[in-house]
């Protein structure tokens, strides 16, 4: 029988696991966003240290959840391979994993706060923080790049399970079927209608999926809530940031990680738009409370620090910057889908976000200028000699042989 944690029994559970004593203090249920499927408890221990206790809730009684297994697997990976285990910004915080009860316990970093909260409260976007993120991510990708031992380790499956392949995040928009009407409100159907109207959007997502080539260890859920910044970041030379919540990590495409972070920066801009029926998209974008020009120095510092630390990626993918921009557009679409799923809502502001996402996916060269404010050639490190950054010529994907239109549907 699966143990269900609560604030009444969590202390006893931790004592039985040898993680706290009878002198340790209280457990407080953390504030969770609407629609969160996990149960989080914050436990205060003697000496001002804290533990975050997380438990997966079963959505289907017939299935056993395995979301936390990846985080535990990542923890073991860092122990076995010191090359990446010594990267302080990704050091594991996990101290206990109970697979039978789907419980994960990790240290809570009281001196850090979520980067999204930091930006919201301070209203500043220091380039030093973005540089630290880019350098950290590049160190992870570079150390694991095309290394079979890391790939094989991440292929480990939970007991009694199999992993046939790694997850490809470039998924298409699901078709409108009778079943979908029971899951989302009629207002949100407009999202699917608009997506199906843009054949170029479907084709761009299909291209990303067709060309997806996993080559290193990736986080796969890098947004501003999964990046922590130290409260004294201005006085520190290192450990400015920490990357947390590795539940989705796997062998993947490094451009997806960078695109996901950039999408979170773009969302700061897009969420501050002035939306009115009398305004065009361009007018609304220019009237944003937080202009994109304020964010661009940090976004540029992010990708430049990444490329400075991992220039070899440009030899592997000459169109790497374009793919990063396209994945940023895809991440914006994923954000809309998550909002529809959790809040059952789709409004005019989401239409603007969808339009921006479409432009990034279908016109990545122009998207580079939009996102960074400069061309791809100007972004490249001086030591990297690339005559022209363009998408490589390729044969059309095989999807076109089977379908009238290039479509990639479903998950």
Quick: pLDDT tens for 29-71. 444 444 456 788 888 887 778 999 999 876 555 454 567 888 9
- What is the predicted pLDDT for the residue at 182? 61
Question: Average pLDDT, whole number, for the chain?
Answer: 84
Distances (CA, A) of 198 to 71, 190, 205, 349, 383: 37, 13, 11, 18, 39
Supply the CATH classification number for the domain 10-107.
3.30.200
- 97-154 pLDDT, tens digit per residue, is 998 889 999 999 999 999 999 999 999 999 999 999 999 999 999 999 999 999 999 8
Do domains 10-107 and 112-402 share one topology? The answer is no
- 215-261 pLDDT, tens digit per residue, is 999 999 999 999 999 999 998 877 899 999 999 999 999 999 999 99
Instruction: Tally Cβ neighbours within 10 Å of residue 224.
Output: 21
Contact 173, 192 (CB under 8 A): yes
Residues in CB range of 334: below 8 A, 6 or more apart = 169
Rounded Cα distance, 114 and 228, in Å? 5
Residue 166 pLDDT exceeds 50 = yes
Residue (of 133, 191, 119) closest to 335 by Cα position: 191
Rounded Cα distance, 247 and 329, in Å? 23
Q: What is the mean pLDDT of residues 362-369?
A: 96
Contact 118, 264 (CB under 8 A): no
Instruction: Tally Cβ neighbours within 10 Å of residue 363.
Output: 17
Strand partners, 217: 251
- 295-306 pLDDT, tens digit per residue, is 999 999 999 999
Residue (of 132, 304, 146) closest to 216 by Cα position: 146
Top-tier CATH class for 112-402 = alpha beta
Residues in CB range of 76: below 8 A, 6 or more apart = none
**What is the percent of the chain with per-residue pLDDT over 70, rounded to a whole number?**
81
The domain ranges of the chain are 10-107, 112-402
Q: What is the mean pLDDT of residues 13-33?
A: 69
């Amino acid at each position: 029988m699966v143990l269900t944690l609560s604030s009444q029994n969590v202390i006893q559970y931790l004592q039985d696991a040898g993680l706290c004593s009878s002198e340790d203090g209280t457990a407080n249920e953390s504030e969770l966003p609407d629609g969160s499927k996990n149960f989080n408890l914050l436990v205060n221990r003697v000496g001002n240290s804290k533990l975050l206790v997380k438990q997966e809730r079963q959505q289907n009684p017939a299935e056993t959840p395995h979301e936390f297994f990846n985080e535990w697997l990542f923890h073991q990976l860092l122990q076995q391979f010191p090359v990446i285990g010594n990267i302080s910004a990704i050091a594991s915080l996990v101290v206990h994993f109970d697979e039978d009860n789907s419980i994960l316990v990790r240290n809570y970093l009281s001196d850090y706060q979520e980067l999204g909260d930091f930006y919201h409260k301070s209203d500043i976007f220091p380039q030093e923080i973005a540089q630290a993120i880019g350098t950290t991510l590049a160190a992870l990708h570079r150390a694991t790049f095309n290394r079979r031992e890391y790939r094989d380790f991440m292929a480990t499956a939970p007991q009694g399970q199999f992993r046939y392949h790694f997850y490809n995040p470039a998924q298409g928009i699901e078709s409108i079927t009778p079943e979908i009407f029971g899951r989302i409100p009629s207002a949100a159907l407009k999202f699917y209608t608009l997506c199906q109207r843009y054949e170029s959007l479907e084709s761009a997502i299909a291209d990303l999926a067709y060309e997806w080539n996993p080559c290193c260890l990736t986080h796969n859920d890098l947004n501003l809530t999964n990046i922590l910044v130290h409260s004294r970041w201005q006085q520190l030379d290192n450990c400015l940031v920490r990357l947390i919540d590795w539940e989705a990590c796997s062998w993947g495409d490094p451009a997806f990680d960078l695109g996901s972070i950039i999408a979170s920066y773009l969302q700061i801009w897009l969420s501050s738009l002035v939306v009115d029926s009398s305004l065009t998209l361009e007018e609304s974008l220019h009237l944003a409370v937080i202009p994109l020009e304020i964010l661009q120095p940090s976004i540029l510092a992010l990708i430049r620090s990444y490329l400075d630390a991992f220039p070899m990626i440009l030899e592997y993918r000459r169109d790497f910057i374009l793919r990063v921009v396209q994945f940023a557009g895809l991440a914006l679409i994923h954000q809309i889908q998550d909002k529809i799923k959790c809040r059952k809502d789709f409004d005019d502001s989401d239409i603007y976000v969808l339009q921006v996402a479409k432009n990034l996916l279908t016109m990545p060269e122009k998207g580079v200028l939009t996102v960074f404010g400069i061309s791809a050639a100007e972004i490249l490190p001086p030591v990297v000699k690339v005559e022209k950054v363009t998408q490589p010529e390729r044969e059309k994907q095989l999807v076109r042989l089977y379908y009238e239109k290039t479509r990639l549907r479903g998950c």
